[in-house]
Amino acid sequence: MLVHPLPFVGGQRSRFCENLTAHYDLTDAMKVNCDLQLTLMASSLYRLLGTEIGRGYHTASPRHLFRDFVEATAQVHILEKEIVVRFQKRAHNPLLLAAGFDKKNVRIPWLGGKRLRLLFG
C-alpha cells in the first residue's frame, strides 16, 4: 500500500501531532508514528467516503475527494439538539444527495448526543 500525504487545511495534521507530542513529551520516533497513524486513518476515511459516494469515486485519490467534496464552504449552526451544516451550492452536491448524506442520522456523543444534519444548497 502506498501512503500519500493527505490534504489537511492549513497543515492541521502536523500541528495536531506537534501539540500532542509536545504535551506528552514524546520522542521524534513517536512524532513520526503519530503523523503516520493520522495519515492512515485519513486515507481510510477518504476511501470510505469514495465508496459511499460511488460513481467511480471508490478509486479516486484522497486529494481528488478532498477537492470535490471536503474543501467546501458551509455555515454551521449549533442548536440545542442538533448541529446543522449548510453547504453552499456546488456541482458535486447532487452526488452527495444521491448517496443519502442528507438523510444520515448521526449523533455525536462528545457533543451531548446532538444530531448532525447536513443540508446542501
pLDDT tens digits for 41-52? Answer: 888 999 999 999
Q: Are residues 39 and 91 in the same domain?
A: no
Residue 21, domain extent: 9-69
From CA 41, how far away is CA 59, in angstroms rounded? 17
Q: Are residues 53 and 99 in the same domain?
A: no
From CA 12, how far away is CA 113, in angstroms rounded? 26
Region 94-106: mean pLDDT is 94
**Pairing, β 106-108 against β 114-120:** antiparallel
Percent of the chain with pLDDT over 70: 74
Q: Are residues 13 and 62 in the same domain?
A: yes
Q: What was the pLDDT predicted at 57?
A: 94
Region 101-108: mean pLDDT is 92
12 pLDDT more than 60 = no
Q: pLDDT per residue over 73-94, tens digit each?
A: 999 999 999 999 999 999 999 9
Domain count, the chain: 2
Judge contact between 22 and 34, C-beta under 8 A: no
Q: Is residue 38 part of a domain?
A: yes
Q: Are residues 24 and 44 in the same domain?
A: yes
**Which pLDDT band, with edges at 50, 70 and 90, does 24 fall under?**
low
